[in-house]
């Protein structure tokens, strides 16, 4: 699918990987709707990028709010061709601590946002994509999800996060099969350690230690590198039902 002329819905598009993706798609001639939480800098990002971008405040776990964001994209630009799921949360806690078992609500929250929220966006965006006229390859849409290296190498304290991201990996193939007859591809990217606002809060020494553990290149990933892979996935019609690790050969240790 060509980026130029396409319309993308990008969750978590107000910062980090999502913002880099919005910028890359707009640079490629596409248009985008940022779906992010109310109170996020989504409106500021949209304003800075101009008329090709809109902001739709929404919670990815809400069917009504995501449906409204999809409607906003159609109202503004006439269609939805691409959905990129970057919204997510991470909460670290051991299964049992000195204070007792991890509160079930923490585990539930991470799974609800990262896994259920991703599926919620897929189902609603794909329903809109199905209305598109197919292109020369028979494509009507492309979905790109964000998992994590933690889906394969979850660290101590990452039970909820790793489970939620492994769920995103696990549903990639069956959803791609579900949507194949509609001409909609589904691909997942599993980033390693990226230089995002979340990591920016860490002390510099800890950031250097994280970078040193990456075989090559021995640095944190750049959001633009994630965005470049999203562009390739969208443009390469033969990439489907795959999870692609983007991690500089990192295999995460226990801690």
Q: Which residues are catalytic?
A: 161
What phi, psi does 210 have (nearest 5°)? -65, -45
CB 3 within 8 A of CB 234: yes
| Residue 194 DSSP symbol | B
Residues 67 and 62: their CA atoms lie apart, in Å, by 8
Residues 110 and 75: their CA atoms lie apart, in Å, by 31
CB 236 within 8 A of CB 144: no
Encoded tokens for 62:
């809400």
Residues in the chain: 255
Q: Any idea of the CA torsion for 230, 85, 115, 141, to the nearest 10 degrees?
A: -80
Q: Any idea of the CA torsion for 117, 123, 126, 127, to the nearest 10 degrees?
A: -140
Residues 172 and 72: their CA atoms lie apart, in Å, by 26
177-203: string of b/e by CB count within 10 Å (b at 16+)?
A: eebeebbbbbbbbbbbbbbbeebeeee
Please report the beta strands in 131-219, taking only residues with DSSP state E, as ranges in sequence order: 141-146, 184-191
Residues 97 and 224: their CA atoms lie apart, in Å, by 38
């Amino acid at each position: 699918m060509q980026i130029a002329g396409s319309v993308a819905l990008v969750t978590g598009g107000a910062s980090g990987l999502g913002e880099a993706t919005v910028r890359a798609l707009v640079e490629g001639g596409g248009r985008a709707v940022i779906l992010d939480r109310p109170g996020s800098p989504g409106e500021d990002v949209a304003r800075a990028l101009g008329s090709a971008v809109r902001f739709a405040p929404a919670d990815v776990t809400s069917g009504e709010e995501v449906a409204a964001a999809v409607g906003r994209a159609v109202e503004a630009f006439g269609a939805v061709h691409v959905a990129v799921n970057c919204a997510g949360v991470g909460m670290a806690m051991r299964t049992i601590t000195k204070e007792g078992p991890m509160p079930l609500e923490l585990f539930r929250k991470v799974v609800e946002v990262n896994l259920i929220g991703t599926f919620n966006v897929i189902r609603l965006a794909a329903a809109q994509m199905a209305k598109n006229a197919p292109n020369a390859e028979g494509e009507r849409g492309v979905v790109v999800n964000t998992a994590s290296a933690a889906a394969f190498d979850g660290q101590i304290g990452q039970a909820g996060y790793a489970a939620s991201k492994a769920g995103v990996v696990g549903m990639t193939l069956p959803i791609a099969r579900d949507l194949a007859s509609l001409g909609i591809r589904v691909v997942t990217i599993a980033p390693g350690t990226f230089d995002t606002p979340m990591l920016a809060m860490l002390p510099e020494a800890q950031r250097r230690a994280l970078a040193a553990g990456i075989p090559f290149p021995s640095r944190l990933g750049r959001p633009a590198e994630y965005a470049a892979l999203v562009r390739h996935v969208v443009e390469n019609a033969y990439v489907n039902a795959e999870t692609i690790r983007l991690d500089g050969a990192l295999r995460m240790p226990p801690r």
